[in-house]
Structure 1
């Protein structure tokens, strides 16, 4: 064998030996989310593309339905086979995972990126536990929005956005009379509880909302506010179709997009479905805060990072945390998803009027957190069950319902 051939063989052997090491050394991430609707998938793809552009290897393990994704994630944790990253709502829902030592802190990345300086304090506080950062926030959503079909409003003779609940129900009557399904209702408990909350905010105000959920106040004003909320919620039953039970939120949004229904109560992620369908805000559809709302309920998404032994996945976690908080990525992600960026230093010029309004409310402090951010998972689940049971039982009056509501906090 000549020297040239020997060198070629040695080189080939070295290349073969180094290939697995290189592959193992490369940042990789299996990412589990419930972002599977058209707009959500498009938004997630913004992060995926940037992750891959920076050399990462991405594996998508998205599962439709937040509850289904959570259940699958917990099963993976129990089995000792967690994904590298999990979509998570910021706040208390992550506290148990942290206390059990199941999540990895990303404090070094947060400090290097000066996240404390570019995130609203209320958001930053909900991404940290015991002084360390565990969550990389992606976006925030307002949950007090009503989306409506401009064509349906025109057909029914509804002129302008209703400013009060009386005007709103009058508009629903006009839609019904015009042969348009008044409300596109997503008949799942988590959707129903969001409608409950947006109505509650209109009845008790920002301070009253926080008194109920944070202070667990049971004073006369709080009880009366919950009763009025249940009265309004119960009145909506007359404007919902028989096919509502179990309906996914994006299927309800499609009813408004196609003009089959007049309005939908939903977080601003629904806007992403209009965008994906090629609809224009102000021309084809509109968005308004729930009537008489002094601000908005908000929820914020993030990635959490389970403890994992694989070195390549650890590198993938660090890279994903950086990518999710990149200012350009945050804007492009929000444009696809219908949300608002979490960073306060992003270029806001690309955002539409709904997103600008949401940012304005956040900047002014006219916001209250979704129950998932400030209640234990057990209490948040109990609230969903309570609202679903009330909605499904038209014979129950608001006074009896209010007693059951406050029993959640006992």
Structure 2
């Protein structure tokens, strides 16, 4: 990651940042990028929870760039010796910050809250550095969803697909009915989102783990990976010509409005259906992406804790960690966000059928080995390698590159530093 080198370029910006001089006995400053409607509501709930516990909340919200702006601000603050109490970080980035020696050990909170018993091991492992908790999970997003408009299926005389053979039959019928079969936004991260679900559906969870998490060269350049690219090439033929640069939520709107039949996207898409007043099971279907019924690609939002000085500040930090893991907060945050609680023991009463399916599938896959980190959403590998693989996928989606050439290119991309 080479944080110190990266941050030299951003130090000039540090002087523009308001570096807090906390005069309060118990205060937490939280850097995050939960700035959209539902997310901001959730952050406000956490603030309320902390203030009820006698801890003052200092909000450090940084909008834009899918978190990139927030990371730039965080790097400047850490180098300036003024790290916030906690920051929204996820996946391998937690380990990268851990190596810098700037994260706080929050095992006291984890032991008090019995986190090991409340979290699937694959989730708790992401929250630890060298065996110690340094971060707390806020939620779990499922990425491998297929969103379907049942009215479009009905018009086309098609049925909801469970595998790729059925998917292409349905896509053909939707296309023949004069509608768009696959709603998509031609942006690299969206291409990568479809790609990882295809790899999972074609190869299964064990292959996905070897190829996109362990970056095994033989798996990356294998007949199974070539078949995955062949499948992706076929999906391309059902995407409309105006997809380039389209935002994901506009693609979701195409499904909502009946202009398109299906979309590969994570469960944040559900927020768009909900905002449009649509009901799951009636107005839209949430299905595991073709062939991925027994697997679950996860994307976890989490707060990493930074070293703070003074017993009062350290105690406030532990209070924050346990507040985030409380069933009360996990419920309200995830009802607003469209995701599901990271921990066990949260009431299911207010969650809809898509969320309940997600909860059941996460529980089942955490026991079966089908729970795997999302490559496309920064949970599986470091950012340099993920970016290089994403570039290969984007090239494949926007050119006549062959499946064999793409699979070979993945091996080289997996060595990126």
TM-score range, shorter chain: 0.7 to 0.9
Q: Deviations over 1:29-71 (max 9, x none)?
A: 24322x3344433443433332344343241413132334333
How far, CA to CA, are the matches of 1:387 and 1:57 in structure 2? 42
TM-superposition CA deviations, 1:355-409 (whole Å, max 9, x none): 222222222233222233332222122222221122122x111001000112233
* Distance across 2 between alignment mates of 1:149 and 1:217: 37
Q: Which runs of 5+ in 1 are unaligned?
A: 1-20
Which has more radius of gyration? 1
Instruction: Tell me: CA distance 1:264–1:83, structure 2 relative to 1, closer, same or farther (3 Å).
Output: farther
Q: Is the 8 A contact 2:31 2:74 kept in 1?
A: no
Alignment-derived partner of residue 9 in structure 1: none
Q: Name 2:187's counterpart in structure 1.
A: 188
Q: Post-superposition shift, 1:128?
A: 0.7
Shift of 1:181: 2.9
Which whole-Å CA distance do the structure 2 matches of 1:328 and 1:84 have between them?
22
- 1:162 matches 2:161: yes
The equivalent position to 2:401 in structure 1, one of 368, 375, 396, is: 396
1:299 matched residue in structure 2: 299
Partner of 2:6: none
Residues 49-104 of structure 1, C-alpha deviation per residue, up to 9 Å, x if partnerless?
A: 323443432414131323343334334434444443221223x2211211112222
Q: Is contact 1:29-1:58 (8 Å) kept?
A: yes
Equivalent in 355, 370, 377 of residue 374 of structure 2: 370
Give, in whole Å, the separation in 2 of the partners of 1:195 and 1:85: 32
Aligned to 2:358: 358
Q: Quickly say closer, same or farther: Cα 1:24–1:243, change in 2 above 3 A.
A: farther
- Aligned partner of 2:95 in structure 1 is 95
Residue 7 of structure 2: aligned partner: none
Structure 1 position 382 matched with structure 2 position 381: no
Distance 2:129 2:143 in 1: 25
Distance 1:173 1:39, change over 3 A: farther
Distance 1:245 1:42, change over 3 A: farther
Distance in 2, matches of 1:312 and 1:191, equals 44
Q: In the aligned structure 1, how far is the partner of 2:22 from the partner of 2:194?
A: 51
Within 1, Cα distance between the matches of 2:329 and 2:60?
A: 18
Structure 2 counterpart of 1:85: 86
Q: In structure 2, which of residues 402, 408, 411 is the aligned counterpart of residue 406 of structure 1?
A: 411
In 2: Cα distance, 1:320 partner to 1:216 partner: 36
Is contact 1:40-1:272 (8 Å) kept?
A: no
| Aligned equivalent of 2:232 | 233
Question: Pairwise mapping of residues 312-331 of structure 1 onto structure 2 (< 5 A)?
Answer: 316-331=316-331
- Any conservation in 1 of the 2:221–2:407 contact (CA below 8 Å)? no
Q: Which residue of structure 2 aligns with residue 127 of structure 1? A: 127
Which SS does the other structure have where 2:93 is aligned? helix
The worse-fitting range, judged by mean Cα deviation, of 274-283 and 61-70 is 61-70
- Indicate the residue corresponding to 1:211 in structure 2: 210
Which is further off, 277-286 or 397-406?
277-286
Q: 1:388 to 1:220 in 2, by over 3 A?
A: closer
Q: 1:192 to 1:316 in 2, by over 3 A?
A: farther
- Once the two structures are overlaid, the 10-residue window that deviates more, 130-139 or 267-276, is 267-276
Does the 8 A contact of 1:208 with 1:222 survive in 2?
Answer: no
Instruction: Give aligned pairs, total.
Output: 386
- The whole-number CA distance in structure 2 between the counterparts of 1:301 and 1:59 is 17
Matches of 2:219 and 2:382, distance apart in 1 = 25
| Number of the residue aligned with 1:280 | 279
Query: What corresponds to 2:17 in structure 1?
Result: none
Match of 1:146 in 2: 146
Unaligned runs of 5+ in 2: 1-20
Alignment match, 1:114: 114
